[in-house]
Amino acid sequence: MPNHSAHLIACHECDLLQREIPIPLGGEAHCCRCSAMLYRSSPGTFDNTLAFAMAAAILFVIANAYPLIGIDIQGNTNATHLFGAVRYLWDHEMLLISILVGVTTIVIPAIEITMMLYILLPFRFSLVPIGVPNILRVLQSIKPWSMIEVFMLGILVSLVKLKDTSTIIPGVALWSFGGLTLMLAAVASSFNPRDVWQRLDNISTRENQHE
């Protein structure tokens, strides 16, 4: 008996089960009951996502390795790293804020980028990473906690307020954070989990044919 379940897809809006149909490049498939978009076929999105994720990884390392901003007040210059800011908050008994900043701007983005590369890189070389379904689930659940853009906005507001009382020297990490915000947005918009499932299917079909 043929396994038809692999070709069924549930509409994320109304839960109607429908069979997948092949669509041309650039085309979209819509739900036949509520017209929500089910999936699209965009050429090269997998490679684009991988490129964006690699750029995000490089920018993330630079953003954490170099000073974020320098502040010059009457000849006294102070520069701080992101981790230094988290530690400062911790040392000054703002534990909750320190944990929130650390988790949302360092821990979660690091996990997100690492998991993306863990999934995308092996597929690029036709290898299957272990535990893809669980990783996709984790990625989905941690996404709302990655708040680089909120942090970036907070820094910009603070810089505008501080500029009258002191001289602000933007550090390399600040520019990297700007780039990282854009790259993470690009990864989120170009990543299509359906591509991952299709590659997983293709590789397992190929392996079954070889056996």
Question: Segment near Zn ion (CB under 5 A), from 8-16, 21-29, 64-72, 179-187?
Answer: 8-16
Q: How far is the CB of 52 from Zn ion (least distance, A)?
A: 29
Measure Cα distances from 170 to 24, 45, 55, 91, 184 in Å. Answer: 47, 34, 21, 24, 21
Interacting positions 94-133 with Zn ion (CB under 5 A): none
Q: How far is the CB of 13 from Zn ion (least distance, A)?
A: 5
With CB under 5 A as the contact rule, the residue among 6, 10, 14, 156 that binds Zn ion is: 14
Strands 76-80, 69-73: pairing is antiparallel
Instruction: Tell me the C-alpha distance between 56 and 183, whole Å.
Output: 5
Half-sphere exposure of 143 (CA within 13 A, CB side): 14
Q: How far is the CB of 34 from Zn ion (least distance, A)?
A: 3
Interacting positions 53-72 with Zn ion (CB under 5 A): none
- Residue 42 structure tokens: 């965009």
With CB under 5 A as the contact rule, the residue among 11, 53, 82, 155 that binds Zn ion is: 11
- CB burial readout 12-48, b (16+ within 10 A) else e: eeeeeebeeeeeeeeeebebeeeeeebbebeeebbeb
Closest of 123, 124, 141 to residue 132, by C-alpha: 123
With CB under 5 A as the contact rule, the residue among 6, 13, 21, 206 that binds Zn ion is: 13
Q: How far is the CB of 106 from Zn ion (least distance, A)?
A: 39
Give whichever of 17 and 130 is closer to Zn ion, judged by the CB atom: 17
Q: How far is the CB of 10 from Zn ion (least distance, A)?
A: 9
Helix (H, G, I), strand (E, B) or coil at 93: coil
Interacting positions 15-34 with Zn ion (CB under 5 A): 16, 31, 33-34
Residues lying near Zn ion in the complex (CB under 5 A) are found at: 11, 13-14, 16, 31, 33-34, 36
